[in-house]
Amino acid sequence: MSGTTDDGGDADLPATDPEFLRLRAQTYDLLSACLDGDVGALVEAAENGYFVQLSAAFPVDVDPECLAEYDEEALEVGYENLFAVPGPHYVPPFASTHAADAPSSDDTTANYESDSAYHAGDAGELLGKPAAELAELYAAVGFEPTRGDGIPDHVAAAFEFLGALAQAEADRRTAGNIEEAEALADLQRRTLDRLGWLDEFHDRVREADSAEGAFARVVGIGRTFAAWDARSGIVAGQTDKRDGDSQEAEPTDDQRETTSNSNS
């Protein structure tokens, strides 16, 4: 099965091809950097035509000029306004606050007090249940995010994790370690299953960033890419399983070491 769908993109690599996996890894890593405030990476990617290449390789509709008009200073201000407390247009960039049953408040930061590492059943506050779930996935392979301000369900941390997993899977498939590669692919699917909150996140960023729009575009690219990946990207490489077989592959010690060192 092709690594891309018929509704966009012209790459014709299988979803398990190492080159295809590395393209996915590079994309997630770039999105992670941009949404962690690395505006230099965003400017460089726009200047080097990476977003044009992204639109050609994957079914992600990206206007090649959409980010060319911004300089680093303007992007730094935009990032601080949107994603740094107490930015005037603050939109929390982590999953816990975008849960369906999150409490509403005029003060966006009012719900983010925490007495313990994770709130097992609570939503809508810093380090809630979504953070605990993602932290568990990270721990499965010994991954420690370098982005996202130490918040496991920060969008930058989740994208960094997906990039590291895709790169590790590419390395495993190149080496012929198919069983380990499949376990890493399964972990990517489980991570993508936890990114449904990006829809609401994008809507809120788009509303708050209506004046400039740079990060609304970046979040939109991330939302679209992750949704496509969950539907037609990583899932395209899934091996057939018998009905009712939901057994999850257990990462090996070697996988844990490789994934945890992939960012160094």
Token pair of 221 as six digits: 């690219």
What pLDDT shows up at residue 256? 60
DSSP state of 102: P
Q: Is the pLDDT of residue 157 over 80?
A: yes
Residue in 201, 218, 211, 210 with CA at minimum distance from that of residue 46:
218
> Residue 241: its pLDDT value, please?
37
pLDDT at 71: 84
pLDDT digits (tens, 9 = 90+) for 80-112: 999 998 878 999 999 999 865 444 444 433 343
The CATH T-level fold of domain 18-238+248-260 is TorD-like (1.10.3480)
Is the pLDDT at 78 greater than 90? The verdict is: yes
Q: Which residue has the higher pLDDT, 158 or 53?
A: 158
Q: Is the pLDDT of residue 114 over 90?
A: no
pLDDT at 123: 39
pLDDT score recorded for residue 111 = 41
Beta bridge mates, 14: 2
Residue count (the chain): 264
Phi then psi for residue 2, to 5 deg, are -65, 150
Q: Rounded distance, CA 134 to CA 116, Å?
A: 16
Q: For residue 116, what pLDDT band results from cuts at 50, 70 and 90? A: very low
Domain positions in the chain = 18-238+248-260
**Segment (H or E) for 224:** helix 214-228
For 54-67, the pLDDT digits (tens) are 888 887 777 766 67
- Average of pLDDT values for 175-189? 97
* Res. 49: pLDDT tops 70: yes
Q: How confident is the model at residue 238 (pLDDT cuts 50, 70, 90)?
A: low
Which band of pLDDT confidence, cut at 50, 70 and 90, is reported for residue 3?
A: very low
CA-CA-CA-CA dihedral for 209, 212, 213, 214, to nearest 10: -120
* pLDDT at residue 189 in the model: 97
In sequence order, the 6+-apart residues with CB closer than 8 A to the CB of 169 are: 21, 181, 184, 185, 188
Give the span between the Cα atoms of 214 and 155, in whole angstroms.
Answer: 16
Q: How far is CA 184 from the centre of its chain?
A: 15
Q: What is the 3-state secondary structure (H, E, C) of 38-90?
A: CHHHHHHHHHCCHHHHHHHHCCCCCCCCCCCCCCHHHHHHHHHHHHCCCCCCC
- Tell me the backbone φ, ψ of residue 154, rounded to 5 degrees: -65, 140
Alpha-carbon gap, residue 17 to 113, rounded angstroms: 44
**Cβ 141 vs Cβ 251: under 8 Å:** yes
Average pLDDT, the chain: 80
Is 124's pLDDT higher than 50? no
Using a pLDDT cut of 90, give the percent of the chain over it.
55
pLDDT for 247:
47
**7-17 per-position pLDDT tens digit:** 444 456 788 99
Average pLDDT over residues 142-162: 98
